[in-house]
A and B are shown apart, each in its own frame.
Chain A
Amino acid sequence: MEASKLEVIIKKIDRVSEWSGKLFSWLVVPLTLLIVFEVISRAMGVPTIWSFELSNFLFGAHFMLVAAYGLLNGSHVRIDLLVNRFSPRTQAIITIINYLVLFFPFVLVILGFGIFYAATSWSMWETSWSTWSPPLYPIKTVIPLTALMLLIQGVAEFIKTICALKNEGVKP
Chain B
Amino acid sequence: MSPEWIAISMFFVLVIFLFLGHPLAFVLGGVGIIYGFWGIGPHFVGIVINRTYGVMDNFVLVAITLFILMGNFLTVSGVADGLFRSLRFLLGPVRGGLGLAVIGVCIVFAACTGIVGASVVTMGLLAGPLLIRYGYQKELTMGMVAAGGSLGILIPPSIMLVIMGDQAAISVGQLLLGAVVPGVSLGILYMIYIGVRCWINPTLGPPLPPEEMIGISKSQVIKDALKYALPPLGLIFTVLGSIFMGLATPSEAAGVGAFAAFILMVLYGKFSWATFRDCLYQTAKSTTMVLVIVVGASCFTTVFLGLGGGTALVDGMLGLGLGKWGTYFLMMFILIILGMFIDWIGIVMIVFPIFLPVAKALGFDTIWFVIMMAVNLQMSFLSPPFGYALFYLSGLKIKDVTLAHIYRGVLPFLIIQFIGLLIFTYWPALTLWLPRLMLK
Contacts and interface: CB of A to CB of B under 8 A. Distances in A.
B49 interface: yes
B172 interface: no
A122 interface: no
Interface in B321-376: 341-343, 345-346
B18 A140 contact: no
Interface string A100-125: 01110111011001100100000000
B351 to A, nearest CB: 16
A6 interface: no
A29 interface: yes
Contact of B69 (A32, A103, A143): A32
Interface residues of A, number: 61
A143 B23 contact: no
A52 B254 CA distance: 14
Interface string A73-109: 1011111111110000001001101110111011101
A126 to B, nearest CB: 12
Interface string B16-36: 011111111111011111100
Interface string B99-121: 00000000000000000000000
A64 interface: yes
Contacts of A55: 59, 62, 251, 255
Nearest to B342: A79
A94 B21 contact: yes
B256 interface: yes
B248 A28 contact: no
Contact of A76 (B25, B49, B262): B25
A35 B20 contact: no
Contacts of A38: 252
A62 B284 contact: yes
A101 B258 CA distance: 40
B289 A76 contact: yes
A106 B281 contact: no
Looking at B277, B280, B346, the one whose CB has the most chain A CB atoms below 10 A away is B280
B53 A63 contact: no
A76 B66 contact: no
A26 B287 CA distance: 13
A79 B23 CA distance: 7
Given A28-B280, A105-B33, A70 B285 contact: yes
B10 interface: no
Contact of B288 (A75, A84, A107): A75
Nearest to B253: A39
Interface string B260-280: 001000000000000001001
Interface string B285-313: 11111011100100100000000000000
A56 B21 contact: no
A91 B18 CA distance: 14
A28 B283 contact: yes
A117 B18 contact: no
B21 A80 contact: yes
Interface residues of B, number: 64
Interface string A147-167: 000000000000000000000
B288 A70 contact: yes
Contacts of B258: 32
Nearest to A66: B284
B425 interface: no
Nearest to A98: B22
A81 B386 contact: yes
Contact of A79 (B19, B289, B299): B19
A61 B65 CA distance: 12
Between A25, A78, A106, the greatest number of chain B beta carbons within 10 A of the residue's beta carbon is seen for A106
Contact of B65 (A31, A67, A73): A31
**Interface core residue of A64, A69, A97, A107 (most chain B CB under 10 Å):** A64
Contacts of B423: none
B263 to A, nearest CB: 11
B395 interface: no
Q: Point out which of A24, A67, A95 has the most chain B C-beta atoms below 10 A from its C-beta.
A: A67
A110 B259 contact: no
B159 to A, nearest CB: 12
Given A79-B341, A79-B386, A105-B33, A69 B285 contact: yes
Given A77-B23, A106-B29, A113 B49 contact: yes
B137 interface: no
Interface in A13-53: 21-22, 24-26, 28-29, 31-36, 38-39, 52
Interface string B143-166: 000000000000000000000000
12 contacts: A64-B56, A69-B284, A75-B289, A76-B23, A76-B292, A79-B18, A79-B21, A81-B385, A98-B22, A102-B29, A105-B30, A113-B48
Interface of A: 21-22, 24-26, 28-29, 31-36, 38-39, 52, 55-56, 59-64, 66-67, 69-71, 73, 75-84, 91, 94-95, 97-99, 101-103, 105-107, 109-110, 113-114, 117, 139-140, 142-143
Given A70-B289, A78-B22, A79-B18, 5 more contacts: A59-B65, A63-B287, A64-B288, A98-B17, A102-B17
The 5 closest A-B pairs by CB, nearest first: A102-B30, A60-B56, A35-B255, A76-B23, A83-B21
